[in-house]
Structure 1
Amino acid sequence: MRIASFNINGVKARLPRLLEWLEETRPTVACLQEIKSQDEGFPAHEFEKIGYHAIWHGQKGFNGVAILADGVTPVEAQRTLPGEPDDDHSRYLEADVNGVRVVCLYLPNGNPVPGPKFDYKLAWMERLRARMQALWALEIPCAVVGDFNVIPEDKDVWSPKAMASDALMQSESRDAYARLLGDGWTDALDTLNPRGGVWTYWDYQAGAWPRDHGFRIDHMLLSPELADRMTAAGVDKEYRGREKASDHAPVWVEVAG
């Protein structure tokens, strides 16, 4: 079973690239972030043509998440992150697929620092931890995947100095992410690439892609029940280099069974 995550940066603008990736790599589950589409405009029929069924949580112009599954319909388990009734951002979606609870998230960026956007990011991460603790208590196979907008360690960025003032690298962001791992979740990519140097994002500006000036912010966190079944994890880096690509590359984890 391959579970993948892809910040697509506009599902309509990147649809040809997204369909290519789905058909060429055929993940069992594909979690999308930044679909930037209202619910009624989501191109579900295009995915159905190639055998994928979808659920989605959209928003006009920005944010938005979706979960696609090959040959089966994801069974929605939770829409929106609990803990703040007034939060209307479309950033969180949960579904059951083939006996696995899959969480798709798009964590707030948090820039500029300091400021209300950074405060929102940290509060969102605390709510996420509470939800993940509740999922942990269920003792079920679970994958929490998506764009976390956190560079966990210096080894996860091409230049720590270049990103030092960014919300993605602040100690508060890193500490909040580390607390998730401390609760017992397994960072799939980091576990299989402990020396770092694995990027999932390259900015459109300043020649970041051709110079390989990237960093790792797309993560796949596994519960013990799923981590025990992990066989491989990686980044589909080549898709970042295609025409009209997203600024993220897809990430994936394979689990037995």
Structure 2
Amino acid sequence: MKIATWNVNSLNVRLPQVQDWLQQHSPDILVLQELKLDQDKYPAAVFQMGGWQTVWSGQKTYNGVAIISKEQPQDVIVGLPALPDDPQRRVITATIGGVRVINVYCVNGESPDSPKFQYKKQWFEALTEFVRDQMAQHEKLILLGDFNIAPTDLDCYDPEKWHEKIHCTSIERSWFQKLLDLGLTDSQRHRYPEEVMYTWWDYRGAMFQRKQGLRIDHLLVTPALRDSLQDVQVDLEARAQERPSDHAPVWAEFAL
């Protein structure tokens, strides 16, 4: 089973790239973040005509998440139960092929002294509670998407420059660790403990060409999936296209 995540930074702009990627890689599951489309503007028919099933939670201008899969998603949950009034569309969960898939576009937080950082803290607490509950119900579970956290200095091109800056603060890294403490494994680091694997590069300053990025897109898995993990890769070719997202797709292959 091949499962992938991609922050597309506007599906309206990147739809042809997503269609091409689906055709070329044929994943069993592809989750998307930052759709930036209203619920009724999501191109479900385009994917369905290509033979794909899809569920989504859209939001104009910001946020928005979707799951695209070969099999029909079951038992879909939108949002986080602990934040029922949150207007931001950041989470969609479904079971596909016996795997519980939690697709997240985690809060950016802007800066450690911003009110948005307090929202990020509250949001991660709600996410951790939700994942704990879902893990109690599903042996095979994957939590994946754009976490907006670089877990260690290895995941940052210049740790000194980024020290205690957004994405790299000690407290954000502690939130990420709390997810791992639930019993999840960082699939990329499980497979490649010391390898540089950035997934996001700022548009400014030719950062992709200079190979100066952050690893903020993750695939966290329960032991049942960890034990069947075969490989994890970042698709740099997708990031090298014209008018790319600032994120690259990340995919994992499981012997399921």
TM range (shorter): over 0.9
Take 1:193 and 1:32, find their aligned partners in 2: how far apart are those partners?
Answer: 24
SS in 1 for 2:218: strand
Consecutive unaligned residues of structure 1, counting only runs of 5 or more, are none
Q: What RMSD, in angstroms, separates the aligned Cα atoms of the two structures?
A: 1.1
AA of the residue aligned to 2:112: V
Q: How many Å apart are 1:139 and its aligned residue?
A: 4.2
AA of the residue aligned to 1:158: Y
The residue correspondences of 1:152-231 to structure 2 (distance < 5 A) are: 152-231=151-230
Consecutive unaligned residues of structure 2, counting only runs of 5 or more, are none
SS in 2 for 1:110: coil
The residue correspondences of 1:1-257 to structure 2 (distance < 5 A) are: 1-70=1-70, 72-257=71-256
AA of the residue aligned to 1:252: W
12-21 vs 29-38, which moves further: 12-21
SS in 1 for 2:204: coil
Contact in 1 for aligned 2:100/2:138 (Cα 8 Å): no
Contact in 2 for aligned 1:111/1:166 (Cα 8 Å): no
Per-residue CA deviations over 1:62-100 (Å, capped at 9, x if unaligned) read: 100000002x22124311012122211000000111111
Take 1:10 and 1:77, find their aligned partners in 2: how far apart are those partners?
Answer: 23
141-150 vs 157-166, which moves further: 157-166
Take 2:75 and 2:62, find their aligned partners in 1: how far apart are those partners?
Answer: 22
Take 1:180 and 1:85, find their aligned partners in 2: how far apart are those partners?
Answer: 21
Take 1:139 and 1:8, find their aligned partners in 2: how far apart are those partners?
Answer: 28
Q: How many Å apart are 1:164 and its aligned residue?
A: 2.4
Take 1:139 and 1:46, find their aligned partners in 2: how far apart are those partners?
Answer: 31
Contact in 2 for aligned 1:77/1:94 (Cα 8 Å): yes
Per-residue CA deviations over 1:38-76 (Å, capped at 9, x if unaligned) read: 010001111122221110000111100000002x22124
Per-residue CA deviations over 1:188-240 (Å, capped at 9, x if unaligned) read: 01111111311000110011011011110000010112212111111111110
SS in 2 for 1:177: helix
Structure 1 runs (4+) deviating above 6 angstroms are: none
Take 2:83 and 2:169, find their aligned partners in 1: how far apart are those partners?
Answer: 24
Q: How many Å apart are 1:138 and its aligned residue?
A: 1.6
SS in 1 for 2:161: coil
195-204 vs 130-139, which moves further: 130-139
Take 1:12 and 1:134, find their aligned partners in 2: how far apart are those partners?
Answer: 34
Q: How many Å apart are 1:11 and its aligned residue?
A: 0.4
Contact in 2 for aligned 1:156/1:196 (Cα 8 Å): no
Per-residue CA deviations over 1:117-138 (Å, capped at 9, x if unaligned) read: 0011111111111111111212
Take 1:161 and 1:47, find their aligned partners in 2: how far apart are those partners?
Answer: 43
Contact in 1 for aligned 2:55/2:66 (Cα 8 Å): yes
Q: Note closer, same or farther for the CA distance 1:76–1:39 as it changes in structure 2 (3 Å cut).
A: farther
Per-residue CA deviations over 1:102-160 (Å, capped at 9, x if unaligned) read: 11000000012212100111111111111111112124211110000000000011111
Contact in 2 for aligned 1:139/1:225 (Cα 8 Å): no
Take 1:119 and 1:8, find their aligned partners in 2: how far apart are those partners?
Answer: 26
Q: Note closer, same or farther for the CA distance 1:205–1:165 as it changes in structure 2 (3 Å cut).
A: farther
